[in-house]
Amino acid sequence: MIMNVFSASWFIVMALQIVFIVILATISKGKSYDEKEKIYKGLYIFLIIYYVAYKGYLIWGSKTYETSVLNELPLALCQVASLLTYPGVATKSKALQSFSFFIGSVCATLAMLMPVAGFTEIPLLSGEAIGYYGYHGLVIVMCVSLYTMKIYNPEIKHVPFVMLQLALYSLISHIVNFIIRSNTDVAANYFFTYDPERNPILKIFRNLIDINYVYLLPLIIPVGAILAAAAPLLHRKETK
């Protein structure tokens, strides 16, 4: 089977995510926060192992995907969001939990819908497909499960903090990109601050504002508006 967006194998992967989300919600039902944290910790450890194996394979094992360590640092939005999930759970930080839930789930879903170059038209059982789609699927499971396991309860007041984190992260990413590009021949492009690549939405803004990094800033407004609209709809009334 060939892995491509909206192919049979792609729908299987998406369906498996839903199954795992339901399983986690079911086994955590009625459990205390501490018990949920232990379940989540196990999932997080698995995420770290999967991530290291996936990136290690891309850098040193893949024969079809050319990359380097500097291009595979854990700085992509979905990676940052997923790596912050357990710290957010362990510290009960609503700032971290909200960032992971909103940004992680959305960015990982977009990655599944709009794969970067090199991850389409590839065999389902290839290291590239298992790594890319498996990892992003796991990110979706972890970030969505913050909500379905009733660890995190979205509130509209969390949205400004999410947007602040997003703005700060984009600036840090651009600085990292600039440093790598200035000192090596690696065209680092974390957070797409230099190039929208295959993302059609980012291309629209790039055509309007042809300035590196700056073209991303107007996106904060519609993203913030969407999250502000979604938070009240997802918010659960707490029962005493």
Residue 238 lies in a domain: no
What's the angle, vertex CA 101, arms to CA 3 and CA 20, rounded to 5? 50
Identify whether residues 144 and 179 lie together within a single domain.
no
Identify whether residues 114 and 181 lie together within a single domain.
no
Tokens of 95: 């700032």
Element (H, E) at 3: strand 2-3
* Ramachandran area for residue 216 (φ above 0: left; ψ -120 to 50: alpha; else beta): alpha
Q: What is the DSSP letter of 96?
A: H
With cut-offs at 50, 70 and 90, classify the pLDDT of residue 117: confident
Identify whether residues 65 and 129 lie together within a single domain.
yes
Q: Which of 41, 156, 32 is nearest to 94 (CA)?
A: 156
What range does the domain containing 36 cover? 2-153
Beta bridge partners, 3, equal 122
Residue 14 lies in a domain: yes
Mean residue pLDDT across the chain: 93
User: Does position 240 have pLDDT exceeding 60, yes or no?
Assistant: no
Interval 28-41: pLDDT, tens: 999 999 999 999 99
Total domains present in the chain: 2
Sign (positive or negative) of CA dihedral 226, 100, 40, 59: positive
Burial class (CB in 10 A: 0-12, 13-18, 19+), 111: buried
pTM for the model stands at 0.92
Residue 98 lies in a domain: yes
